[in-house]
Amino acid sequence: MSQAIYYINQNGITLSDSIPEQAIDIPIGKVFDKETLLTSLAEACDFPSYFAHNWDSAWDCLTDSKVAYLALNLAAVENINTEDFNVFKGIIEDAYKDFGKPQLWVTMPTKDKD
């Protein structure tokens, strides 16, 4: 069954399918937040100059583009704004529901073992 979002553990072992070779990597540094994500997403997907760096504009640009597969590696991210991450996942799920694209593969950080 096809879905919008797939999660992968840090060792690269998929929980569903493997990341497609043609997936566009969204580079993220140490902090995942709205600003960082939208900037990286726009650059990686070559969004048009009218991209407004907001959630609605990201949805518009993703659904208007030919981008079908995205990869987001959060394994090395030190600070994840969960609200922004959840909004982004919602955008992906809505776009996939309406247009059948894009699909997102997320490499998740492993939890520290104390």
pLDDT of residue 73 exceeding 60: yes
CATH superfamily of 5-107: Barstar-like (3.30.370.10)
Report pLDDT for 40: 98
Q: What is the DSSP string of the chain?
A: ---SEEEE-TTS-BSSSPPPTTPEEE---SEE-HHHHHHHHHHHTT--TT--SSHHHHHHHHHHS---EEEEE-TT-SEE-HHHHHHHHHHHHHHHHHHS--EEEEEPPPPPP-
pLDDT of residue 3 exceeding 80: yes
How far is 94 from 55, CA to CA, in rounded Å? Answer: 12
Task: Decide: residue 65, CB within 10 A, 0-12 exposed, 13-18 middle, 19+ buried.
Answer: middle
The pTM for the full model equals 0.88
pLDDT in tens, 78-114: 999 999 999 999 999 999 999 999 999 999 877 654 4
Domain boundaries, the chain: 5-107
